[in-house]
Amino acid sequence: MLPGISAKSEKEQNQTIQNYYKFQSKIYDLTRWSFLFGRIGIVKQIPFPRDAKINILEVGCGTGYNIRLLAKRFPNATITGMDVSEDMIDIATKQTARFGDRINLICGPYMKGSKDFNEQMDVILFSYSLTMINPQWSELLEQAKVDLKKGGVVALADFHNSNFGFFKRHMSNHHVRMDGHLLKAFKDDSDYTSVYEKVKAAYLGIWHYVMYIGRKK
């Protein structure tokens, strides 16, 4: 097991993330533009007309970067952002205030077993959250299927893999698992039809990131 990626209980995992973002929230937007690639691209690929009245959920919405992109791209959408870190949600609240009450932010963990969004969502976005949610990421994928309408789409932008052990160890110190496991899980899931799939190199191949969109059958 790499450092930072141990088999934690859900409670321990959520606490680890909350502690991590106490400081990281303060430098998040200043730093993440330089390595969280694919976020603009995945929002552009979401296969709904721009004027669609759709319900979108972002799991792990952080400081609200994607919520702003989504709100601009889909001006009639209602967008819910969930995040387990109060520090991140506080920033997201300020950053998305101008979009008014079509944005709904919830501070709390996205978890298996919730009935809150049962088949209500047209789009569920996971952007750089799932590689940090270990080992519960696969339970969250199951939950997303419960929360999506039939014909709704799940969208992913995240780290994919790296051929460099030093880099994987560095990322695991930041609680990120990079094993190509997310794309494999989506592709193996017969409840989704793949709509869009791309793996791209970052910084001449130090790591690869993945973008995926699947439609719930």
Ligand X SMILES: C[S@@+](CC[C@H](N)C(=O)[O-])C[C@H]1O[C@@H](n2cnc3c(N)ncnc32)[C@H](O)[C@@H]1O
51 vs 127, beta carbon nearer ligand X: 127
CB of 16 to ligand X, least distance (A): 9
- Could you identify the residue written with the tokens 């009935």? 115
* Spatial separation of the C-alpha atoms in residues 175 and 182, rounded to whole Å: 15
31 vs 53, beta carbon nearer ligand X: 31
7 vs 49, beta carbon nearer ligand X: 7
80 vs 127, beta carbon nearer ligand X: 127
CB of 89 to ligand X, least distance (A): 8
Tokens (6 digits) for 34: 């330089």
Query: In b/e form, how buried is each residue of 60-79, taking b as 16+ CB within 10 angstroms?
Result: bbbbbbbbbbbbeebeebbb
65 vs 192, beta carbon nearer ligand X: 65
**Residues in CB range of 199: below 8 A, 6 or more apart:** 160, 183, 208, 209, 210
CB of 102 to ligand X, least distance (A): 18
Q: Is 11 exposed, middle or buried (0-12, 13-18, 19+ CB in 10 A)?
A: exposed
- Identity (one letter) of the amino acid at 6? S
CB of 217 to ligand X, least distance (A): 25
Residues that bind ligand X (CB under 6 A): 17, 21, 32, 36, 39, 59-62, 65-66, 82-85, 88, 109-110, 127-129, 132-133
CB of 13 to ligand X, least distance (A): 7
